[in-house]
Amino acid sequence: MKLHDVRQSLAQAMPAREDQLAWKLAGVAAARAPTAKDAASLIVGQLLANAAAALAALNSAPAVSARGAALAHAKKAGGAQLFGVPSRIGVSAGWAAWANGTAVRALAGAAAPSLADLLPPLLAVAQAREKSGRDLIRAVVAAAEIHAALREGLDLPARPRSPMAHLAPAQAAGLGALLGLKQETIHQALQQAVHVSCVPALGGAGLVSSWPVFAPAHAGKLAIEAVDHAMRGAGAPNPADESEIFMLMASPAQCQIRLPEAGETRTAILAAAPPGRTAQIANFLALTEGLITTRERNRFLESVQNLHRLTAGELSSLNVAVPAGALDESKPGIF
């Protein structure tokens, strides 16, 4: 690991691109580096945990609302899947991230962002773009590495800022790794994700409402849009971290970020993931008892445990449908 200095710079003395934090983060995401030995197993455990949490919350008010909006963006063919909804129904990736991310978070409330929140946009885009299980593993490992680096090294301002400003760029970095994008494209996407997700933290006086349940999913949707923006050739305001606006850092106006060097094994996933696969299987079985059929439960368990063997186009199997009539309908909205 190597420490990188990050400090605020005046407009007339901006650091060169290669010295900017976003460029270095993009390099970590774009690199083909070895992953920790247990990474795949830990990601399987998190997929199980997410599915169990989402299924248990499918008829909670936030999940119903987000799913209703997502279903209004159904695609005629392809797309990403929604928890609880038959896999033949696909929606645009951004809206799948919104609905699934909200369902995963619905019962957890305003807990700090974690690997559970990193996954929904990565899985949604992987399904929509027909990526493989190994592609998804690489993406999750990259996102976890960037999220850990930002969370541990880059303080959010004392104003304060929402932790979504760490989550969205990490999700964007993972998407860059998933899609095999060039460092320059990921660099622009990261900065765009920072600018659109750097908002005030909730708290203090006033009614917070249910927004903390939606916020991580919103970050994921913004990350997908930021990557799409960059892939289409559009740039982002930069530099996101060293400018006088100082989007993420608090006083003093400098900090250090620890990043893996080229060729170094990516290990942040080891600290980010939940307990092992066996514990998560037991949790999944307990939380989904009576919610899904035995056949559907066994199919999903077999598919998710073979994540590293799933080929391009097979990630749609990482979805769980509930029996017809089991899902509540949302109130009508604009869409």
CA angle in degrees (0–180, nearest 5) for 59-203-69 = 30
Which residues of the chain fall below pLDDT 70? 8-13, 156-161, 201-208, 240-253, 275
Question: What kind of architecture, by CATH, is found in domain 2-9+21-203+210-316?
Answer: Orthogonal Bundle (1.10)
Write phi, then psi, for 81 (nearest 5 degrees): -95, 155
pLDDT digits (tens, 9 = 90+) for 110-134: 778 899 999 999 999 999 999 999 9
Question: Would you state the pLDDT for residue 113?
Answer: 85
Tell me which residue of 105, 97, 70, 235 sits closest to 168, measured CA to CA. Answer: 97
Tell me which residue of 293, 315, 314, 269 sits closest to 43, measured CA to CA. Answer: 269
Question: Would you state the pLDDT for residue 157?
Answer: 57
Write phi, then psi, for 255 (nearest 5 degrees): -160, 180
Question: Would you state the pLDDT for residue 249?
Answer: 54
Question: Would you state the pLDDT for residue 11?
Answer: 57
pLDDT digits (tens, 9 = 90+) for 239-254: 766 654 555 555 556 7
Quick check: pTM over 0.85? yes
CA distance 45 to 98: 21
DSSP secondary structure string, 198-231?
--BPP-SSS--TTHHHHHHHHHHHHHHHHHHHHH
Cis check: omega of the bond before 86, within 30 degrees of 0: no
The two beta strands, 90-91 and 2-7, are unpaired
CA distance 189 to 226: 5
